Amino acid sequence: MPRAEQRSAEHKAVATSGLSLLGLIRHAAEVERSWFRMVLSAEQGKALWPAVDGVYGEFLVEDADVDEAFTFWREACAASRTVADAFESLDDTVEFRGETISLRYVLTQMIEEYARHNGHADLLREAVDGVVGE
């Protein structure tokens, strides 16, 4: 490898991680359920994929079922839309653990969540197929 390419390769920040595309889908399902059903609708519920040894269960995908993950995510998104549609205004609020939270706040959080993880997904996809783009 030419010296310039070797230096470039040495300075690339590619940390090892347990992050996967499937884990991101499962995480998105959990986040949808958490914000819309638990926070905005005050429903009680357990994690779809409980934590193991302090690691979020949704990211433990060794034996995960892809179809199941996408089904749960689609169902969570549909439920989120139903919850959001029940609010008259983006400025309507709920009380959650001593805080006042508006639908606008939750939607903004979800935009940020998906934007952040879409970036992660793009880096993971690039590592798989090697294609880079704009």
- Which of 11 and 125 is assigned the larger pLDDT? 125
Q: Encode pLDDT of 15-61 as tens digits.
A: 566 788 899 999 999 999 999 999 999 999 889 999 999 988 999 99
Above 50 in pLDDT, residue 6? no
84 and 78 Cβ atoms separated by less than 8 Å = no
pTM: 0.81
Q: Encode pLDDT of 53-95 as tens digits.
A: 998 899 999 999 999 999 999 999 999 999 999 999 999 999 9
pLDDT the model gives residue 40:
97
The Cα–Cα gap between 21 and 120 comes to 9
Above 60 in pLDDT, residue 1? no
pLDDT the model gives residue 127:
78
